[in-house]
Structure 1
Amino acid sequence: MFTIDLTLKNTPFPVSVQRKSAEEAEVVYKQILEAMRSGNPDIVELTCDRQGEKKVAIRASEISGVQMSQKDSAAAGKTPGFFSLAEST
């Protein structure tokens, strides 16, 4: 399972959607990057593969960052994102 996390301006928590395959996740990641670069479409609508009823619409101009990561059993319990603290041993 792959997770795409969106960091939004003035919002402390990321918005996340999931895709089952790397190819599908890459398509969503590129769609978001294109929307950020061009401002078109004005609204980015996303759904989640894991929770089909989960839908979100975000104004492209409010997206400040996007991250794609793979969720596996080794990463269970870790907070996704670039802002995660280093693991303690």
Structure 2
Amino acid sequence: MFVVELSLKLSPMPISVQRKSLEAAQGLYGEIRQAMESGHPQLMDLRCEKSEEKQICLRSSEIVSVQLYEKSAMGAGSKRPGFSTGG
């Protein structure tokens, strides 16, 4: 399982969407990145492949960052995947 995680403006909690394959996760990552680069706010409907009843609609202009990682990278007691902003 792969996770595409979004950070939103003025929101302390990220939004995560899961994909079953790396190709699907990379496709979603590219779609979100393209929406961020376009400079034209648009609504994005996202649905989780693990729990298909979970879905969210958000405005692309509110996305600050997007990251992609494999869910198995999160083990018990391990550091959360991503990038550290601390020195």
- Same fold flag (TM > 0.5): yes
2: CA distance, partners of 1:16 / 1:24:
14
Report the count of equivalent residues: 84
TM-score, length of structure 1 as denominator length: 0.83
Q: Normalised by the size of structure 2, how large is the TM-score?
A: 0.85
Aligned to 1:71: 71
Aligned to 1:35: 35
Identical residues among aligned pairs (%): 44
Counterparts of 1:8 and 1:75 in 2: how far apart (Å)? 22
1:16 and 1:7 mapped to 2: Cα distance? 9
DSSP-derived class of the 2:51 partner: coil
CA–CA separation in structure 2 for the residues paired with 1:32 and 1:23: 14
Give the secondary-structure state (helix, strand or coil) at the position aligned to 2:28: helix
Q: CA deviation at 1:68?
A: 0.2
d(CA) in 2 for partners of 1:62, 1:75? 26
Distance 1:13-1:84 versus aligned 2 partners, 3 A rule: farther
Question: Counterpart of 1:58 in structure 2: which amino acid?
Answer: L
Structure 2 stretches lacking a partner, 5+ long: none
Residue 82 of structure 1 is matched in structure 2 by: 83
In 1, Cα distance between the equivalents of 2:41 and 2:51? 24
| Runs of 4 or more consecutive aligned structure 1 residues displaced over 2 Å after TM superposition | 74-85
